[in-house]
Amino acid sequence: MSKPSIKINAQLNSIIQDENFDNFSVTQLLDSYLAMCAVTKEPNEARKYVYRQIHRLVKKGLLLKKGTKNSKRIVYQKSELFFETKFIEQNTTTSTANQITSAPSTTIDAIKQLEERLKESEVDLLTSIGESEEYMRLYQSFPEMKTHLESQYLQARERSSKLLGQIKAIKSVLSHQRK
């Protein structure tokens, strides 16, 4: 009778095949997997991927799940079948890596949020400029209010400067994200 075989991610295989790696949790496997991967992984997607792989190995009888169903102390143990199985390593540089790396939709969402923030800051800047211009007109009409109007004018100009800095920063990040 030939050994059963199963395809498995190369990094996961090298971690699980380690004889000292037994009675492990999802978190322990995930941490080892993330530490071993050359491509920067989105932690949430990597966690889902690792969990799916563990679940697949449990279904095939290669790993035994120890602990109660809703317990946070669930550990996985290698079964006898695990040691009889031939593991065929798959390289993750193509499809799996693309699924796990940070999704492009995250970048699109970030760009949308940045564009919205940019619009808000530009509106605030125009409001602040209009405010400072009005303080200048009021000063010309009511010179006796010079002290109060001058302090209000300076505060509006300071807000304008801060907003201009925010706009420059947002535009810089946007141009970087669009590359």
User: Are the C-beta atoms of 81 and 62 separated by less than 8 Å?
Assistant: yes
Q: Phi and psi for 76 in degrees, rounded to 5?
A: -115, 135
Bridge partners, residue 6, by sequence: 87
pLDDT at residue 142, rounded to an integer: 94
- Of 40-44, 85-89, 94-98, 103-107, the least confident: 94-98
Q: How far apart are CA 2 and CA 84, in angstroms?
A: 9
Closest CA to 92 of 13, 16, 21: 13
Residues 3-51 have pLDDT tens digits of: 778 888 888 888 888 888 888 888 888 888 887 775 556 778 888 888 8
State the pTM of this model: 0.49
Burial class (CB in 10 A: 0-12, 13-18, 19+), 24: buried
User: Are the C-beta atoms of 54 and 45 separated by less than 8 Å?
Assistant: no
pLDDT at residue 135, rounded to an integer: 93
List b or e across 130-159, with b for residues whose CB sees 16 or more CB atoms inside 10 angstroms: ebbeebeeebeeeeeeeeebeebbeebeeb
Residue 103 scores a pLDDT above 50 = no
DSSP conformation letters of 23-51 = SB-HHHHHHHHHHH-SS---HHHHHHHHH
